[in-house]
Structure formats: C-alpha cells, structure tokens
C-alpha cells in the first residue's frame, strides 16, 4: 500500500516537473539574425541581421553570448517575456539547421520565431515585416524554410538596395559607403525596435507600426518587385 502511494506521488511529481518544463520552454521568443561569421564579414550589407541582434542585446542588457546549437545565443527579457537572440555560426546558406535546432530543443511553435535578414529588393534603410512567405531568392531564408519544412514564420527584412545581378555577390559582401551606412544604422535601430514590438505587442502591431513608414517617417507602399505574399522579383541575395 505504502509503495503504491509512493509510486503515485512520484508519478505526479514527475508529471508536474514535466509540465513546468514545458511551460517554461513555451515562454521563449526566438529572434534569429542572419549573417556570415568572422571579422571579414563584419559591417557588410549581408550581415545586417547580425547587427540587429547585437543592437537588441545592447538594448536589453542580454547575457553574454554562448556557443550552442551551431549558433551564438544570448538570453534576455522584456516586459516579462523571455527572448533568445540567435546568430547562426554557419555561413548564410546553412542558417537553417541552427535555427531549427533551437526551435526543436525549446519545443516552440513557429509563431515564436522572427528571422531578421538583409533584402536587396528594398531600398537602403527601409524595413519590412511579413508573417510568412517565400525566400525571395535569399539563400539564408531558403535554408531555414527547408529545415523547418514551412514558410509560416515571421521575417523582418532590412533593405540594402540592389545592383546589376553580375555584381550582386560582391555588392552584398562589401561594406557600404558612409552615406549608405548612415541609412543602414537608422534601419538597424528601427528593426531592433520592431523586433521588440513583435515580442511585446504581437506581429500585427509590429506590421502596422513599422511597415507604414520608411526611415524618414513618410508613408510606404508595397515595394517594387514585391507582391502581397512577400515574394520578390529578380533581385536575389547570394
């Protein structure tokens, strides 16, 4: 009798611990910024996703980055919500596995994921948030979609402008001149604010607030080459 009671109590405790673990895990929000690792790629157009993550870490007083799941990950909190700031350490076109591993380990639904990346279909300095969509030619997004087996996750694109297709690789992997750099700095700040809005107030509010104006505060329409589903035209990122 005593043994059966003890087993029942142990089972209840185990179940309670499991429920608490799942509840804790489900509280996380994941913000993943894309880029290429290493000093050679710092401040390049293709690495604005990393820069937004660094700005968020500064704004939130995030923990020191730890190497985990093939990424650099820092933990932070905002308005009582727990945030994982993720920078995959794989190169851009292999971003999917670290992101998928984080989502799987914490047992999170895709509604808790925001991916931040550069976008050659947007003018330098503009940002755009979308709830889902294709990769639009971006290889980092394409790999995440492949590994998650879904396009149903939010993405925040930071405009870097475009150039002739034969020079695209050189363009995205180079550092912009000072005037363009100033536009990107402002966009990085706004992208960080938009990401926090997504955590605190939800995707729709972030879209309403940050898709309605450019870096100068004027109203913004759908970008050329982008239709309502978020698919892009011929401008492609390597």
pLDDT of 235 higher than 80: no
Instruction: Give the whole-angstrom CA distance, residue 235 versus residue 189.
Output: 24
Instruction: Give the whole-angstrom CA distance, residue 231 versus residue 229.
Output: 6
Mean pLDDT of the chain: 83
141/17: higher pLDDT: 141
Place of tokens 């910024």: 33
| Residue 4 tokens, joined | 């059966």
pLDDT tier at 192, thresholds 50, 70, 90: very high
Backbone angles phi, psi at 107, to 5 degrees: 55, 55
30/11: higher pLDDT: 30
- Sheet containing 71-78: which strands, arranged edge to edge? 66-68, 71-78, 81-88, 28-33, 113-119, 154-159, 127-130
The pLDDT of residue 137 is 87
> What is the arithmetic mean of pLDDT over 83-104?
96
The pLDDT of residue 213 is 58
The pLDDT of residue 236 is 53
pLDDT of 227 higher than 80: no
Question: Rounded to whole angstroms, what are the CA distances from 134 to 86, 115, 214?
Answer: 21, 13, 23
Catalytic residues: 46
pLDDT tens for 87-97 read: 999 999 999 99
pLDDT tens for 32-65 read: 999 999 999 999 999 999 999 999 999 999 999 9
Its pTM stands at 0.81
pLDDT of 4 higher than 50: no
Instruction: Give the whole-angstrom CA distance, residue 236 versus residue 21.
Output: 41
pLDDT of 225 higher than 80: no
**Residue 45 CB contacts under 8 Å (≥ 6 apart), including other chains:** 118, 160, 171, 172, 173, 174, 175, 176, 184
Helix (H) or strand (E) holding 85: strand 81-88
pLDDT of 234 higher than 90: no
Residue 208 CB neighbours (<10 A): 13
pLDDT of 146 higher than 70: yes
Instruction: Give the whole-angstrom CA distance, residue 193 versus residue 196.
Output: 5
pLDDT of 226 higher than 90: no
Cβ–Cβ under 8 Å, residues 3 and 88: no
**Residue 178 CB contacts under 8 Å (≥ 6 apart), including other chains:** none
Cβ–Cβ under 8 Å, residues 123 and 159: yes
Helix, strand, or coil (residue 82): strand
pLDDT of 179 higher than 90: yes
């Amino acid at each position: 009798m005593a043994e059966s009671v003890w087993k029942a109590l142990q089972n209840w405790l185990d179940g309670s611990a499991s429920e608490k673990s799942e509840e804790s895990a489900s509280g996380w929000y994941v913000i993943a910024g894309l880029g290429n690792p290493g000093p050679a790629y710092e401040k390049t157009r293709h690495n604005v996703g990393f820069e937004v993550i660094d700005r968020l870490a500064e704004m939130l007083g995030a923990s020191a980055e730890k190497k985990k799941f093939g990424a650099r990950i820092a933990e932070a909190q905002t308005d009582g919500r727990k945030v994982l700031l993720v920078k995959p350490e794989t190169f851009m076109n292999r971003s999917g596995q670290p992101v998928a591993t984080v989502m799987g380990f914490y047992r999170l639904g895709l509604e808790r994921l925001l991916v931040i990346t550069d976008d050659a279909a947007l003018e330098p300095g503009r940002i755009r948030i979308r709830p889902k969509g294709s990769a639009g030619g971006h290889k980092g997004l394409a790999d995440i979609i492949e590994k998650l087996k879904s396009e149903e996750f939010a993405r925040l694109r930071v405009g870097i402008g475009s150039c002739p297709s034969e020079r695209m690789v050189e363009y995205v992997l180079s550092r912009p001149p000072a005037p363009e750099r100033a536009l990107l700095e402002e966009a990085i700040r706004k992208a960080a604010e938009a990401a926090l809005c997504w955590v605190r107030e939800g995707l729709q509010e972030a879209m309403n607030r940050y898709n309605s104006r450019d870096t100068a505060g004027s109203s913004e329409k759908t970008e050329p080459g982008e239709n309502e589903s978020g698919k892009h035209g011929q401008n492609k990122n390597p």
